[in-house]
A = this chain, B = another copy of it.
Amino acid sequence: MNAVFEALSHPVRRKIIQQLKRGPKSAGELADMFELTKPTMSTHFAKLKSADLVSTKRDKNTIIYSLNMSILERALAELIDFGGDKDDDK
């Protein structure tokens, strides 16, 4: 859960998530939507992935990213719904 909220803290990563809600996209397609270098975008992808917010599959030599909506929903639901003395760090 910590990793999810850290991932969500950067505006570019939230925009990547918005894009992936419309459907899976390759690293290159996503990178082209932002004015950042591909290595920089790659580190953003890595953070989303390490929070399990996205999954990857390979198609020829492009990597396709897709959103794990359930992970996002679960993290936000815990923050909103769950009780006041629960351990937040799991």
Contacts and interface: CB of A to CB of B under 8 A. Distances in A.
Interface of A: 2, 5-6, 8-9, 11, 14-15, 17-19, 21-22, 72-73, 76, 79-80, 82-86, 88-89
Contacts of A89: 11
Given A6-B9, A9-B6, A9-B9, A18 B73 contact: no
Contacts of A86: 18
Chain copies in the assembly?
Answer: 2
A19 B76 CA distance: 17
Contacts of A14: 5, 79, 88
A46 to B, nearest CB: 17
B15 A5 contact: no
